[in-house]
A and B are shown apart, each in its own frame.
Chain A
Amino acid sequence: MAVARDLTRAMLGFGATLRASGLPVTTGAIMDAVRALEVVDLMDRVQVYLALRTVLVSRMEEQPAFDRCFEAFWKFQADDGQGLDGLVAAVQPRGSEEEPPTGGMEGAQQKQAQVALEDWDEGEAQEGEPLEVPGQSDREVLMEHDFSTFPVEQLDEVARLTVQIAKRLARRVSRRRKPTRRGGVVDLRRSMRANLTRGEIIELRRRSRRRRKVRLVLLCDVSGSMDLYSRFLLQFLYALQNVFGRVETFTFATRLTRVSELLRGPSYKSALRRLRWATGREAPGSATRFGTSTGNGVTSWTGGPSCWSSRMGGTRGSPRCWPRRCCRSSDGRGA
């Protein structure tokens, strides 16, 4: 029983270490971890590591932090043979130098040694190197990121993320339902109507949720004040233009230029070349004339896609937000 109690205590300590490193470990998870340790070989460090990792890690990104905590908390004590009272006695270790367990645990099987539970000491833990666990998630960090400071090598990543966002937008289903041949729920009204002349309900009509078609008009400010962002913005526009069928893209500074056709194509580089050729005539860094340029757009393009949507960039400062879908959509409600 002493073993069980000490194991629980040690696990609670380990849980606290993990929590201090930013891993969201709940009491339930600790209880599961104790149960997991009961069904593995405590004398085998690799097994203990794998078992705890399976239970306490819930996403791949947490693994490096977990590895560090595991190393710090469950230290090898082969040389001095110290262990917590009532816990496993030392077994002759085979592994030479301890090395942090890697993600795949390749070849880690040979690394067999005893698990000596070290009495966890808060003071000691704080002396060691601080664990590099971000307090914020990556996404959070990116949200705070100023687009003008995006390094070139991250542009690929931007393109990938944009496509991902665009695909999600394209896949959205509406709350409204449309008639379908198979699947979906029974459409009572249409079933009744279809069977009116038959006297009996013989044929069932069904309906399911329809896909919401996304129609976007993108306006991009390419005037002098937005120079810093234009690389990022163009990448974004390019990705959006090539995922959706119905996107109209305009750039504006002193006047509005329609660039939808120029952005279409498999290669970003050639799209840039076409853009440079088409918009090169515009004075670079010129002042923005919002009224004239967007006003033109309203008058000449309201006949096209009926949904005014996103506005990239802003009038001043950094465009931190993703496009806002605003104004009106075809059914007269907010899109």
Chain B
Amino acid sequence: MRAEIKKIEEMMEAAEYVTDPAIAMSVHLAMTLKKPLLIEGHAGVGKTEVAKVMAKMLETNLIRLQCYEGLDAAQALYEWNYPKQLLHIKLEESTSHSLTEKEAAIFSPPFLIKRPLLQAISETGTPPVLLIDEIDRADEEFEAFLLEVLSEFQVTIPEIGTIKATQPPYVILTSNRIRELSDALRRRCLYLWIDFPGFEKEVRIVTRKVPGVNERLAREISRFMETVRTIRLAKVPGVAETLDWAQALTSLHADHLDEELVAETLGCVVKDADDVKRLKRELATGGIARFVAAQS
């Protein structure tokens, strides 16, 4: 059985995702236990990427629901296509169909606009991966509504009836912890916390994702990022920033870090004016050596 997890690890690596045992185990359990997986972690550590890689791995569709403040059930589940219905009524005016028939016609599946949740539930064939991204941005009411959908995997549309998933989708929820999620939602999910990667893992990510980066630069970048994350910043840079920076440095044909280069490209690492100032100050006092020196 161990082989399955090993296989998942290999498949994730093949899909260009540098993984670790904890992530592979969570994905394995989410797939075998058929439970939603809640992934939390800092911004830019690759939470969303897990779902994308999972879809790639399983060769299935990825259905994404991006949450935001004010998102309601209609935008997540389904809507009737009003203009199309109106047009249909107009066209049907001259026909001899009875009122009941006309009504049945306009409230039938062709007039239904499927939003992500319904799309995931009604998909036939291989179950899709449903990514509910940044659930902490949605309102609490939406979260409560989601609970119902996630536990039953069925949706009742008054005019059509109940649609139940033949194959429940694999569900991945991500959260940046902007808002505390309810215990009820947490209880229904498996849980995975993705932390900033360790030094070795980050080196692997950089060498893997940025073609043309040399070993020394990758190690220096990772060490630099490791140190930067220990400084108190308004926005701590994630792996996404590391990759951007590595990409920028590679395109500048850099093969190692020096103070001037870092100062010029600092915008790739920190995205806040105060943070830039602070980091520049730290660089001026401690020098680049402090940042790229191996930590004991």
Contacts and interface: CB of A to CB of B under 8 A. Distances in A.
Interface stretch (B50-58, B166-174, B184-192): B184-192
Given A46-B21, A54-B191, A105-B21, A35 B33 contact: yes
Given A46-B21, A54-B25, A104-B198, A40 B2 contact: yes
B29 interface: yes
Contacts of A55: 29, 33, 190-191
B97 interface: no
Contacts of A35: 33
Given A47-B25, A105-B20, A171-B69, A58 B90 contact: no
Nearest to A44: B2
Interface string A88-116: 00000000000000011110110000000
Contacts of A32: 33, 35, 190
A185 B274 CA distance: 42
A80 interface: no
A32 B105 CA distance: 44
Contact of A60 (B21, B70, B193): B193
A231 to B, nearest CB: 19
Given A41-B2, A59-B186, A201-B86, A185 B33 contact: no
B83 to A, nearest CB: 7
B20 A266 contact: no
B33 A200 contact: no
B26 interface: yes
Contacts of A230: none
Interface in A109-127: 109
A29 B189 CA distance: 10
A36 B193 contact: no
Given A63-B193, A104-B198, A173 B69 contact: yes
A185 B192 contact: no
Contacts of B90: 200
Interface string A30-43: 00100110011100
Given A104-B20, A200-B90, A209-B70, A40 B1 contact: yes
A109 B9 CA distance: 13
B29 A266 contact: no
B195 A104 contact: yes
B1 A41 contact: yes
A58 B82 contact: no
B156 interface: no
Interface in A266-283: 266
B22 A24 contact: no
A47 B5 contact: yes
B25 A39 contact: no
Contacts of A59: 40, 186, 191
Interface string A8-43: 000000000000000010101100100110011100
B285 interface: no
Contacts of A201: 86
A51 B187 contact: no
B49 interface: no
B231 interface: no
Contact of A57 (B28, B191, B232): B191
Interface string A206-236: 0011000000000000000000000000000
A39 B28 contact: yes
Contacts of A156: 232
Contacts of A58: 38, 183, 186-187, 189, 191
B32 A173 contact: no
Given A26-B187, A103-B195, A47 B2 contact: yes
Interface of B: 1-2, 4-5, 20-22, 25-26, 28-29, 32-33, 35, 38, 40, 69-70, 74-75, 82-83, 86, 90, 139, 178-179, 183, 186-187, 189-193, 195, 198, 232, 274
The 4 A-B pairs with the shortest beta carbon distances in the complex, nearest first, are A58-B186, A41-B2, A50-B25, A60-B193
Given A40-B1, A54-B191, 18 more contacts: A29-B187, A32-B33, A36-B29, A47-B2, A50-B26, A53-B191, A54-B22, A54-B29, A55-B191, A58-B186, A103-B193, A103-B195, A104-B22, A104-B195, A104-B198, A105-B21, A201-B86, A204-B83
15 contacts: A24-B187, A36-B29, A39-B1, A39-B29, A40-B2, A41-B1, A54-B26, A54-B29, A54-B190, A55-B33, A58-B186, A103-B195, A156-B232, A209-B70, A266-B274
